[in-house]
Structure 1
Amino acid sequence: MPPEATLSIGELAASAGTTVKTVRFYSDRGLLPEAPRSGGGHRRYGPGAAARLRTIRALRSLGVSVPEIGRVLDRADGGDGADGPVEGDGGDVLAAVVARRLDDLGTELAALRWREAALRALRDGAPERLAERLELIGAVSVPPSTSALAHYWRRVLPVRLSTRLRRSVTDAAVPQPPADPTPDQVLAFARLHALATAATDHCLVSHRPVTAVHPDLLYDGLHEAHRLVEAALRTGRDPGPGEALDCYVAAHARAADTRDSPAFRRVLTVRLAAADHPVMARYWQLAGELTPGPTLGGADAWLREALTASTTAA
């Protein structure tokens, strides 16, 4: 390539509106292939280098890493290190890089929204509670993870419950952190995380649901009963008799190898009341602050109230 067809490092920097230092940085990392040097040993670049440099700078402005930019350009070059912008197969690699960057950015934005709400919770709280709130919030990763809550439920659920139902119950019982939380929701999640962690660490998970001979029969039936009662919860209907309650009692009866009867309902009412535990009650209270719709705990409480009312009336 004749010298007059190439650009000096200063000319290349000026054509792209950047500095000689920036051009040298990308050259040293192999992103800007050089033409044969001048007789004085100065760097020279081909005519496509300006477009290539603009591509590099555009990707860097979007937060794409230098190694990923290198992979995009290598694929576009076909591995021959030619000058020029991204073309051909490089476009496919670029699309994948952009998709990954969007995913990363979503995570970063979620973390920023969580931090903002957490800082507001600290700022707006009573000064004497600042240290307590800071300790609670500081124990939660950013963005927040639900692994401690899932571990809590793995300890709470019956040992012989099938993997399918264990996963299904855990998915339904573990509230997801809001994408754009309020300060109160940050505190609710932090308190829920602390509750689950303490209950697991100190073996306070003795509050398992009523022991069942056939746990899968129980939890399959409970799932159906909770689904039936969702409409009542959404409309604010008071607990009472109906299909949902019958399904709920039948699930407990099948799991205990017996049948639904007035006598069984009286026994079940007493057993469920004895199984109440303040840790679980607190769990569902906090989960309700994070869940837009009815929780499993809310559905179960509605059904137990309906059961108590039915046995009292009888």
Structure 2
Amino acid sequence: MDSGTLYSIGELARRTGLTVKTIRFYSDRGIVTPADRTPAGYRRYGADAVARLTLVRTLRELGLGLDAIRRVTDRELTLSTVAAEHAAALDVQISILRLRRAVLTAAARREPTSQEMERMHQLATLSGAERRRLIDDFLDAVFDDRHVANAHAAVRRSMIPELPDRPSEEQVEAWVELAELSLDADFRAGVRRLVEELEADLPDRVAGPPRPDVVAVTRELVGEAVASGISPDAPQAEPVVATLTAGCALVVGRPDDAQLHGWLAHRLEAANDPRRDRYFTLLAVINGWPAPEPLAPVIDWSVKALKMRAAR
């Protein structure tokens, strides 16, 4: 390109893809200045104006403001500095948009009232410290000081969601639902009741490594049978049930008899809250853990198998 060539605004517009009005606006703002004027006062621009305006168009398309662009074209700031600052600002905007989208997506599925919508928005925009206080309040309602000092301390720690600094929309949406669940008084009471019942099942409370409760034992001993598609009334279920009752009898320190079988069916039935499965599913999404196997199918199978044998 001939450095001595001068262009009219119209010619500059054709070369840069910008409109005459836009180039005139940039010229009035001092972002690109004319190299000369005709005797009639028309502006004429040098060859460098083409490169300058091309850069301006690119930066504008990337969302930079005119003040920052002028400082770049005037070499007051480097492109790398402006790019880094703008990228950081976009990160904040993206985070905000992700939160908004997650709330709106959740709202679209459940048709909330205006009050529920407001609460969803508030839960999504809590700070890290506020989120932790909310979960601590939930766990304090479920576990008392006695539980903190025993095997349930590890269970409590495993129930803490840790939303990352840059969560995905799925994680934000999961956090909102989990937070709502943790605020549900009936859910809190149910989990608390389960913890107390399982604590009472242990024959002693001496210090030592965590001991499995009957729910954990059931998951371990029956999970494979459920996954294999064995029906609770099939002959193949007999050794599974026998192993289950023997294992639970050992945990609670009771004889493996009909009374224990009836008690175990009742205890598992009381523990079968689908909301607990949902809590741990949401927790896995938030913390980036593998999806847990749902507990409800295992408990349903076990309760049915125990009741069928008690009725014989």
Q: TM-score scaled by structure 1?
A: 0.49
From the CA coordinates, give the structure whose radius of gyration is larger.
2
Q: TM-score scaled by structure 2?
A: 0.50
